Structure 1
Amino acid sequence: MTTTMDWTGASKTAGDFVSHWRDDEPGGCVVGFDLSGIRFAHAGGVESLSTLAPFSSRTVARYASLTKHVFCAMVLAHSDVMGLDDPLGEHLPELQSPLRDVTVGQALDMSGGLPDVRECLSLLGLSVYSETKAQPLLDYIARQTRLNFPAGTEVSYSNTGYRLVEAALARKGLRFDDFVQEIAKQVRLPLFAPDVWNDPVVGLAPGYWKSDEGWQLSAAGLHLSASGSLAGSAEALVAWLQCLLKGEHGFTGVLDQLSAPRPLADGRMSEYGLGLRWTHLGKRRFVGHGGSHPGYKSYFLLDPQSGTGFVVLSNREDTNGFKIALESMAALTGLPLPRPAAFLPDGLYVTETGPWWLEIKGSTCSFLDAEDTLYDEGDGWVSSRSASSPVRLRLDGETLAGQVGHAPRRFLPVVPGRDVPPTLDGRWRSEESAEFEIAKGALIMGIGPLRRRMPLTALGNGRYLFTLQDGPWTKRVCLHMLGDDHVELVTSRARMIEYRRDRF
């Protein structure tokens, strides 16, 4: 199939996005490339609000989850040491069932049900700024005895699998940064894989998020792990992606292995591979991934057929890298963009039982507070078109029916105006010694000046929503009654944090 490449149109589309980043704001760049080299590079904004130095394609920023496919390439390179079908417990014997029974492949392809550590910490009351180290985090995971869902039955994003597989390889003397530095030598541009946020990185641009008071410097305390530790420039990322597309430097066929669809337990195939996900435009599909750290956003999208691609790298929280890359690819190929669907009735919906809720606002769907745009698929169906958070729904009377994360779901409209019963009042404690209080229709968490009162919204049948503000992130959490004195706190990435009422 021959496709005419409109680089002029793609460059204009990318440039229009970049033009909105002013020279007194954080910024970013968009780079279009093919196998012969960079076709254009547009940049806007600054890499530092202290120096006001302009952002460029050589500015170093955090790649965040773009790291994942690079780490998976390392796993494939050491298949003699660790296989994708190996259970995690074979390499990390301290893990308990069912976590130990999740395979390496499931841990990397988002079907393992492993709870995301960062989300777990939020539900225990620890801020995004709270500093954590690698071994205590592994010790914490080793104490867990619940998955978000049975391994292989759903697809839902989590970083924990990457942390665990990296730790297992490190015990065998295989360090991720050593692998990264070999790549850096091959592409002849610097790449970095720091362990923690505060590790010095040469030339690293600070990240920013916008509060009500203006732009704020970003920070994070979580040990980074191979789920999102990489940093480098847009040009370095382009050089690596060209290496994958060409199969150079020992990476022949690796892109095909990373992007291959992965099977679920019932034989259905997921379009989230090993750190890469497929995206559809018209009748064609493209492969890429996004990244998000506090104050940083990134995305790349590749057309393996033509050897073309786009890289988006920015140091501002509000960048929609997926939109920029997708519209640039549409302009390049002449393929139609999907149409957002806004015909589902707005409102909150909840399943008859369990903590599963979603909200519709126009063409935006939030499932357990994971937000996606819905697109019109015809015959009344809408879809997120997302391999990492798949949603497919249609209206059936007043009910929204279909699949979320490949799992069948039926959502009923929430009846408004329900009261929060006083029987919830009391002090609640987890086995990790975290605690909160419920009083007068609100959940109260934290101590001293960090004590926060978060009103509860009743969804019916023992489900309640509250909003937790954590630095640049706003999270809605479902409190789900498991018994009179037993609750769980649930977000999309962590669905297993339990508390019991303190009766003493």
Structure 2
Amino acid sequence: MGKTLDWNAAALAVKTLTAAWQADAPGGAVIGFDANGIRFAQAGGLENLATRSPFTCRSVVRYASVTKHAFAAMVLSHPDAIGLEDPLGRHLPELREPLASVTVGQALDMSGGLPDTRECLTLLGLSVFTETRAPALFDYLCRQTRLNYAAGTEVSYSNTGYRLVEAALARKGLLFHAFIRAAGWQAQAVLDAPEGWNDPVEGLMPGYWHDGTGWQLSAAGLHISASGSMTGSAESLMHWLQALMAGEGRFSGLLERLSQPRRLADGRTTGYGLGLRQTWLGDRTFIGHGGSHPGYKTYFLLDPEAGTGFVIVSNREDTNGYKIALEAMAALNGLPLPTASTALVDGLYVTEQGPWWIAVKGSTVTWLDADESVYEDGDGWVNSRSASSPMRLRMEGSAIVGQVGHVPRRFLPADITACANDLSGRWENGEGASFDIEEGVLVMGIGPVRQRMPLQPLGAGRFLFTLKDGPWTKRVCLHRLGDHHVELVLSRARMIEYRRRR
């Protein structure tokens, strides 16, 4: 490349961003590396608040969605068993339409429209702590008859495609935990893939989230699936990524295939591949991915051309691994960071029809409960610069226009004067879930976990309410479909319907 890489500048950028990893709190580790090994390593905080042991580059954590590219590697390794163009229904005949016609590739590249299982459970009133098992979850998905959007028309993050493809491979005797242990061993990495939160994993450190007064142990009840089941250390993740970039033996050509741009049904390319997403700095393109479980945050960013990369792992909920990786890569290569933009006017906006809403506050745009930072993109435009949550918008008078998820959208200021009194009553879902609406307040839950959530009007039969669930706070859109028919909408699950009991 001919350009000097400044590892000292990269290390300094990391040190500045990880200053919050104090000796008496959860922490993490960051490794900057190239083909020859570690160029710098930093660790801070504690890996376990009970034992007070310090976090190191060998502390084992949950990688969460960093798992996705590794599972996609398994899929590509078995072309005789499954193909990217195969409809899911070919391998899982129990699936109903339109889910059955989503292809394996669409299920893995975030264009399939498959509703996210965890967010579906949230909209049914089940907590993040509620334990669920793979067979019952699969049966639940087989009962679904709606996608979030038509397959191949949008890019929006969901974990369900990975869950379903994993189930398809398991029927053929191909198990992800066996694959990743063996492939990890060949990469000199100690990796595992437990399916349940409580499954024993050698050396696994607890994760933590802060409730406003102190650190709490994290937990999750959802069967994890290959969308986010991998565990390992910062050091093991580095070795795995080095093997991918070296491309020798079973890893030959794998990174290129995983990161190759995918296409929507109309032929447009997206920045999300198979468990890997593009990141842009200046005129350069890098590849990486992040992961988030309650109490754990992970991220990696690679420059395959130079053979360099950064790994961030953490056992605390508030770590922004993307920011650490981005600023480290920029410092290493002497590239400018994108400039945050406040060109959009703060406020709450909705499309003329449908449950689609955004909230703007400074340089943060919230789309259906998913927060994204936006950056200057010239001529008044702002851009999320995110391959998994693409967004390009600008002001047009009092409206906001542009694209979200590669779909054209026009947002108008919300009508916050509407009334929800005519929604009063008991609302029920076919899965046995229910909630009540009483004088503009939605009431969900039983006994001590019963929540009363005021409905905030958006106009045209749409309302927002805020649901709190352990470390998560969700803003849910209630969208009226008829006098006795509503749907609840989050960014990853847009198809949960309720009907009023008459």
Other structure's SS at 2:38 match:
strand
In the other structure, the counterpart of 2:230 is 230
Deviations 1:5-31 (A, max 9, x none): 001111111122223211000000110
In the other structure, the counterpart of 1:212 is 212
| Residue 194, structure 1, aligned to residue 156, structure 2 | no
Deviations 1:322-352 (A, max 9, x none): 0000000000000000000012110000000
Distance 1:54 1:317 in 2: 17
Task: Show structure 1 runs of 5+ residues with no match.
Answer: none
Distance 1:493 1:422 in 2: 28
1:69 touches 1:258 (CA, 8 Å); kept in 2? yes
* Aligned amino acid, residue 111 of structure 2: S
Other structure's SS at 2:81 match:
coil
In the other structure, the counterpart of 1:361 is 361
In the other structure, the counterpart of 1:430 is 429
Distance 2:68 2:35 in 1: 22
Distance 1:220 1:420 in 2: 36
* Aligned amino acid, residue 489 of structure 1: L
1:186 touches 1:249 (CA, 8 Å); kept in 2? no
TM-score (norm. length: structure 1): 0.99
Task: Show structure 2 runs of 5+ residues with no match.
Answer: none
- Offset at 1:372? 0.4
In the other structure, the counterpart of 1:420 is 419
In the other structure, the counterpart of 2:293 is 293
Structure 1 stretch 185-194 or stretch 208-217: which is displaced more?
185-194
| Residue 159, structure 1, aligned to residue 163, structure 2 | no
- Offset at 1:249? 3.3
In the other structure, the counterpart of 1:311 is 311
1:282 touches 1:336 (CA, 8 Å); kept in 2? yes
Distance 1:180 1:474 in 2: 33
Distance 2:480 2:2 in 1: 57
How do 1:215-364 and structure 2 match up within 5 A? 215-364=215-364
TM-score (norm. length: structure 2): 0.99
* Aligned amino acid, residue 176 of structure 1: F
In the other structure, the counterpart of 1:489 is 488
* Aligned amino acid, residue 245 of structure 1: M
Deviations 1:367-386 (A, max 9, x none): 00111000000111100000
In the other structure, the counterpart of 2:456 is 457
Other structure's SS at 1:263 match:
coil
In the other structure, the counterpart of 2:80 is 80
Deviations 1:255-304 (A, max 9, x none): 00000000100000011000000000000010000000000000000001
Deviations 1:141-195 (A, max 9, x none): 0000000000000000000000000000000000001101112221233211001
* Aligned amino acid, residue 126 of structure 1: L
Distance 1:212 1:180 in 2: 37
Distance 1:310 1:20 in 2: 19
| Identical counterparts, % of pairs | 66
Residues matched between the structures, number: 502
- Offset at 1:419? 3.9
Other structure's SS at 1:41 match:
strand
- Offset at 1:440? 1.0
In the other structure, the counterpart of 1:20 is 20
2:296 touches 2:314 (CA, 8 Å); kept in 1? yes
* Aligned amino acid, residue 322 of structure 1: Y
Structure 1 stretch 241-250 or stretch 220-229: which is displaced more?
241-250
1:30 touches 1:310 (CA, 8 Å); kept in 2? yes
Q: Structure 1 segments of 4 or more deviating over 3 A? A: none
1:59 touches 1:205 (CA, 8 Å); kept in 2? yes
In the other structure, the counterpart of 1:110 is 110
Deviations 1:418-464 (A, max 9, x none): 14232100000001010000001110001111111000000000000
Other structure's SS at 2:443 match:
strand
* Aligned amino acid, residue 47 of structure 2: E
2:420 touches 2:455 (CA, 8 Å); kept in 1? no
* Aligned amino acid, residue 483 of structure 1: G
Other structure's SS at 1:480 match:
strand
2:188 touches 2:240 (CA, 8 Å); kept in 1? no
Other structure's SS at 1:39 match:
strand
Other structure's SS at 2:10 match:
helix
State the superposition RMSD in angstroms.
Answer: 0.7
* Aligned amino acid, residue 464 of structure 1: F
Distance 2:335 2:185 in 1: 37
Distance 2:154 2:65 in 1: 20
Distance 2:250 2:427 in 1: 54
Distance 1:153 1:73 in 2: 25
2:343 touches 2:382 (CA, 8 Å); kept in 1? no
Structure 1 stretch 97-106 or stretch 211-220: which is displaced more?
211-220
- Offset at 1:494? 0.1
How do 1:460-479 and structure 2 match up within 5 A? 460-479=459-478
- Offset at 1:364? 0.2
